[in-house]
Amino acid sequence: MKMNNNISIEKNSEHSTVARQPSRGTGSKGLDIIFENEKFIAVNKPSGVLTIPDRHNESIPSLYKTVQEKYEKIFIVHRLDKDTSGIILFAKDEVNHKYLSQLFEQRSVEKYYLGIIQGTLQDKMGIVEEPIAEHPVHKGMMAVDKKGKPSITEYEVQEEYAIYSLVKLRIHTGRTHQIRVHMKHIGHPIACDELYGDPKAILLSSFKKKFKLSRHDEEERPLISRLALHSYQLKFKDFDNKDQDLIAEMPKDMRALLQQLKKNRN
């Protein structure tokens, strides 16, 4: 099954084949609002931020709290892992909350991610269909397990750089850590994944020949030091049966890594 449109690395590139970029709203308190109407808003969540408040420590910042400060009454529709960046939907009333939540539960939302994985895949397109369950030993982790819940991840390679690859992924189910577990299972974990791969930050010196540290810097700053996974696109029909195609631009750190990999490919 071939997924639509390739991904452009450069910001606002004229070579981008993305069909459309939704109008962006005006953010407040650090909110990056991708789209807003009278029924829902779509926010681009940064990596490292919880989607909802921590059950044990509500003083930890969360995207829900930040959105709530601006809109007061707001309803969370779905979640992303703390370390994953990208699109999160919030409903503005109970009717749209119920409708949008049902779309996710019924798998009527097309969910696309961008991930930078370790190495290169032999098959440039494929489907990983392996059940996932809680890890039998390590609390907070998941694992492929024949007794787990059915889980389907579709992937398509966008760019290859020998040591890393940019992959577009579509999840047909929504299991915890699904993409991370499936990529580890096929031997190509997401870059900088502290649970399922190599947690080390990626330095330019690790792949650039004759790298020299700038005389202004005392130590090298990493290109990226967080999970290289981004919720890129959501496609669905809203309450009024209108097609919604929402896109969250690739974060700066992921773009910076890809640009350097491209520049130093040979």
- For the cut 90, the answer to whether the pLDDT of residue 228 exceeds it is yes
pLDDT of residue 83: 94
Residue 104 carries which side chain, given as an amino acid letter? F
Q: Round to whole Å and give the CA distance between 121 and 124.
A: 6
| Residues 146 and 159 sit within 8 Å (Cβ to Cβ) | no
Q: Flag whether 6 is in a domain.
A: no
Q: Round to whole Å and give the CA distance between 169 and 80.
A: 15
Q: Round to whole Å and give the CA distance between 203 and 225.
A: 9
151, 160, 192, 201 from 189: Cα distances, Å? 17, 15, 9, 14
- For the cut 80, the answer to whether the pLDDT of residue 214 exceeds it is no
Q: Of the candidates 263, 246, 199, which has an alpha carbon nearest to the alpha carbon of residue 23? A: 246
- For the cut 90, the answer to whether the pLDDT of residue 48 exceeds it is yes
- For the cut 80, the answer to whether the pLDDT of residue 59 exceeds it is no
| Residues 158 and 6 sit within 8 Å (Cβ to Cβ) | yes
Q: Flag whether 169 is in a domain.
A: yes
Backbone angles phi, psi at 167, to 5 degrees: -125, 140
Q: Flag whether 18 is in a domain.
A: no
Percent of the chain with pLDDT over 90: 78
Q: Round to whole Å and give the CA distance between 250 and 173.
A: 23
For the ranges 86-90, 218-222, 256-260, the lowest mean pLDDT is seen at 218-222
Q: Among 32, 54, 81, 83, which one carries the catalytic annotation?
A: 81
Q: Given pLDDT bands bounded at 50, 70 and 90, which one contains residue 215?
A: confident
pLDDT of residue 23: 42
Q: Given pLDDT bands bounded at 50, 70 and 90, which one contains residue 177?
A: very high
- For the cut 50, the answer to whether the pLDDT of residue 19 exceeds it is no
pLDDT of residue 8: 56
pLDDT of residue 194: 96
pLDDT of residue 11: 52
Q: Flag whether 134 is in a domain.
A: yes
- For the cut 80, the answer to whether the pLDDT of residue 210 exceeds it is yes
- For the cut 60, the answer to whether the pLDDT of residue 10 exceeds it is no
CATH for 231? 3.30.2350.10
Q: Of the candidates 73, 75, 62, 77, which has an alpha carbon nearest to the alpha carbon of residue 31? A: 62
Q: Given pLDDT bands bounded at 50, 70 and 90, which one contains residue 192?
A: very high
Q: Flag whether 158 is in a domain.
A: yes
Q: Flag whether 21 is in a domain.
A: no
Tokens (6 digits) for 11: 């910001």
Has 81 been annotated as catalytic? yes
Q: Round to whole Å and give the CA distance between 232 and 16.
A: 14
- For the cut 90, the answer to whether the pLDDT of residue 123 exceeds it is yes
| Residues 87 and 246 sit within 8 Å (Cβ to Cβ) | yes
- For the cut 60, the answer to whether the pLDDT of residue 252 exceeds it is yes
Element (H, E) at 87: strand 85-91
Number of domains forming the structure of the chain: 1
User: Given the structure tokens 């650039």, which residue do they identify?
Assistant: 208
User: Given the structure tokens 């919720």, which residue do they identify?
Assistant: 231
| Residues 190 and 175 sit within 8 Å (Cβ to Cβ) | no
Considering the chain, what is the average pLDDT of its residues? 89
Q: Flag whether 28 is in a domain.
A: no
For the entire predicted model, the pTM comes to 0.89
Residues spanned by the domain of 113: 33-263
For the ranges 60-64, 95-99, 196-200, the lowest mean pLDDT is seen at 60-64
What distance lies between CA 42 and its chain's CA centroid? Answer: 14
Q: Of the candidates 233, 82, 228, 248, which has an alpha carbon nearest to the alpha carbon of residue 159? A: 228
Q: Flag whether 193 is in a domain.
A: yes
18, 36, 157, 203, 258 from 14: Cα distances, Å? 10, 25, 21, 29, 17
pLDDT in tens, 149-161: 999 999 999 999 9
